[in-house]
Amino acid sequence: MSEGFPIKDTQYGFMWGSGEIVRIFDDSRFGVVFEIRGKRQAVDVRVTSSGLIRIGDLRRRKAQNDRKSQDITDRFGRKGR
């Protein structure tokens, strides 16, 4: 690995340089959702239980408090179960 990019573990992922990978949600039926964060933008990546990869829209980062109130299923166009 590169000496210029320190890696720091976080509670649900890790930080590598100016980027951060965070596990947002996981469920045996829905799959797992990761968020890739930069200082100014973020994108969600969902891996379904069947192994397909779904990539959400690139968006500007919001404040952390605004993010928690949004339902994870809304970000992928699926309402409820």
Residue 12 lies in a domain: yes
Residue 1 lies in a domain: no
Number of independent structural domains in the chain: 1
Say what the pTM is. Answer: 0.67
Domain extent at residue 62: 7-76
Residue 27 lies in a domain: yes
Q: What is the pLDDT of residues 23-72, one digit of tens each?
A: 999 999 999 999 999 999 999 999 999 999 999 999 998 655 445 445 55
**Quick one: which H or E segment has residue 67?**
helix 64-68
Q: Extract the runs of DSSP E, i.e. beta strands, from the chain.
A: 7-9, 13-16, 19-27, 31-37, 41-47, 53-55, 59-60
